[in-house]
Amino acid sequence: MIVEAKDVFKTYHQMEKPVRALRGISVEVQTGDYVAIAGPSGCGKSTFLHLLGALDLPSQGEVLWHGESISRWSETRRTKLRLQRIGFVFQRFYLLPTLSAQENIELPMRELGLSAAERSKRSEQLLNDVSLQDRKHHRPAQLSGGEMQRIAIARALANNPELLLADEPTGELDVATGQEITELFQRFHNQGLTIVLVTHNQELASSAKRILKMRDGRWE
C-alpha cells in the first residue's frame, strides 16, 4: 500500500468559527490504483487530496505513507516526500511564466540536485511522452491551455513519483482538450502509474478504476 487515510478529520477556523472540511474519511491507495474523487464544490475533495499529498495535516486521524504516520514526521521529511515520491497537477497549471516549457519540467529535478545532462535527458523524454517536443522553448504565454496542462503533467512526473495527485486537471479546459488530458492520464496509468484525482468531469472520472463520491466531508 502506498498511502492510507484512517478516520481523517480536518477542521479550519474562520473568524473563530470551526469549519469541518472532512468528517471521518478513510481510504487505501494501492500500487497501480487509479482513483477518482467526485462530488460538489466545497465538499472537501481538494482538502483530502492535500492531506494525501502531505501538503497539510489532519486535525484528527492519520495519513500513513507505507505504514508511517506523516503527522509524526518533520516538515523537512514531508518536503522530501513531496519532492521525491509525489507528483502534483493543479487546475491552473502553476507554470513559471519566465521559464520555457522544458525549464518548467526541469524544476523538480533541479531541486533534487540532478545534473544538467540528467535533467535535459529526462525532460526531453517527458516532452516526447506528452507530444510537445516542438514547444520546448515556448513560454507558458505562448502555449494553449491544453499544452500548459500537458507540460504541468510532465513536470509532475519529472522525478518518477510513486503517486500522481491531480486536482481538477481538466477544469480550465474545453471538452475536446479535456478528452486529450483524460487519454493522457489513462496512458500513464496503463504504464503503471498510481493516480488519485479530483474531478467534476464525468468522462475523466469514469476512466478511473475506482470512483469515490464525497458530500459534506464524508463518503456517500
Nearest to 164 by CA among 7, 49, 10, 24: 49
Query: Residue 98 is which amino acid?
Result: T
Neighbours of 77 (CB within 10 A): 13
- At residue 19, the pLDDT reads 87
- At residue 140, the pLDDT reads 97
pLDDT digits (tens, 9 = 90+) for 145-181: 999 999 999 999 999 999 999 999 999 899 999 999 9
- At residue 36, the pLDDT reads 97
What's the distance, CA 130 to chain centroid? 16
Q: Which three cell numbers stand for residue 80?
A: 522530501
Q: Which three cell numbers stand for residue 126?
A: 517527458
C-alpha to C-alpha distances, 198 to 42, 109, 191, nearest whole angstrom: 12, 26, 21
In DSSP terms, which residues pair with 68 in a beta bridge? 65
- At residue 15, the pLDDT reads 76
pLDDT below 70 — which residues of the chain? none
Decide: helix, strand or coil at residue 18.
strand
Residues 116, 169 contacting (CB under 8 angstroms): no
The Cα–Cα gap between 139 and 101 comes to: 6
To which H or E segment does residue 196 belong? strand 194-198
Domains in the chain, please, with CATH? 27-56+71-219 (3.40.50.300)
DSSP 71: G
